[in-house]
């Protein structure tokens, strides 16, 4: 499954995608984009789950420190800061993250988060601080994907792989046009006209 997803992403984005990929920590999301931002929501959900399982261990402190850092970064990004401020705060946030990573954690839970999340994807946790438009989580994308599920069910789901493919392409285009402030209806008409013109050549 992982190799399939990785090859599918490369087929869609190419091997030199110039944008920023915001994702969880699945390994298939590496190797084809210029910039990566790992999702803090996934990280904090994981550490929060561990605090509920092990409330007396130092994973509680780790979760609190990471939450505080995330909130500080989120508040900073709300102001849409200029490049010079972004570079300065990136250095500050990076020092704080390194301090968390280098703290002498005792529990296996805390050590596991440091090793398998923070260190493994070191360099991908603060990308949004430097790049305008990038976010610290992929919540927006996941919310938009969830909205598509009821539509798919109302259509009676997909009967063929080809139907699923065209539905995914159509929804991707529609959501992209909406994000750009364009009319999905009008843009879809324009796209069909473009396809028809090309087929007449």
117 and 85 share one domain: yes
Would you state the pLDDT for residue 169?
78
- Are 171 and 113 contained in the same domain? no
Q: Is residue 20 part of a domain?
A: no
Distance CA(169)–CA(20), nearest Å, equals 20
Q: Domain end: 110, 137, 164, which one?
A: 137
pLDDT at 5: 44
- Within a domain: 133: yes
- Neighbouring C-beta atoms of residue 7, cutoff 10 Å: 12
pLDDT of residue 115: 97
In this structure, is residue 19 part of a structural domain? no
Residue 25 lies in a domain: no
- Are 126 and 189 found together in one domain? no
Domain count, the chain: 2
Task: Indicate the residue among 89, 106, 137 that finishes a domain.
Answer: 137
Q: Which domain holds residue 61?
A: 39-137
Per-10-residue mean pLDDT for the chain, 201 residues long? 45 57 69 80 97 98 98 96 96 98 98 97 95 84 56 69 79 81 90 82 63
Which residue in the block uniquely carries the two structure tokens 């979760």? 63
Together in a domain, 95 and 160: no
Q: Is the pTM of this model over 0.85?
A: no
Instruction: Kindly state whether residues 70 and 117 are assigned to the same domain.
Output: yes
CB burial of residue 46 (10 Å; 0-12, 13-18, 19+): buried
79 and 105 together in one domain: yes
Same domain, 150 and 131: no
Question: What's the pLDDT score for residue 135?
Answer: 92
Q: Is 94 within the bounds of a domain? A: yes
The CA–CA distances, whole Å, from 100 to 36, 71, 89 equal: 21, 15, 17
Closest CA to 77 of 1, 32, 161, 137: 137
Residue 2 lies in a domain: no
* Residues 62 and 109 reside in one and the same domain: yes
| DSSP letter for each residue of 153-167 | HHTT--SSHHHHHHH
Residues 46 and 130 occupy one common structural domain: yes
Q: Are residues 96 and 110 in the same domain?
A: yes
Give me the pLDDT at residue 49, please.
98
Percent of the chain scoring above 70 in pLDDT: 76
Are residues 170 and 98 both part of a single domain?
no
């Amino acid at each position: 499954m992982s190799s399939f997803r990785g090859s599918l992403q490369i087929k869609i984005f190419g091997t030199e995608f110039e944008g920023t990929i915001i994702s969880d920590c699945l390994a298939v999301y590496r190797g084809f984009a210029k910039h990566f931002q790992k999702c803090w929501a996934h990280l904090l959900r994981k550490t929060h789950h561990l605090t509920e399982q092990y409330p007396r261990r130092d994973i509680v402190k780790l979760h609190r420190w990471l939450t505080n850092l995330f909130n500080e970064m989120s508040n900073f990004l709300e102001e849409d800061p200029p490049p010079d401020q972004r570079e300065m705060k990136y250095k500050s946030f990076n020092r704080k993250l390194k301090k968390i990573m280098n703290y002498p954690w005792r529990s296996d839970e805390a050590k596991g988060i440091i090793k398998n999340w923070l260190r493994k994807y070191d360099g991908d946790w603060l990308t949004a601080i430097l790049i305008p438009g990038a976010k610290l989580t992929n919540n927006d994308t996941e919310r938009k994907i969830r909205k598509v599920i009821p539509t798919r069910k109302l259509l009676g789901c997909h009967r063929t792989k080809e139907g699923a493919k065209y539905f995914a392409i159509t929804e991707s285009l529609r959501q992209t046009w909406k994000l750009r402030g364009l009319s999905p209806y009008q843009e879809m008409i324009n796209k069909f006209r473009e396809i028809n013109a090309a087929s007449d050549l």
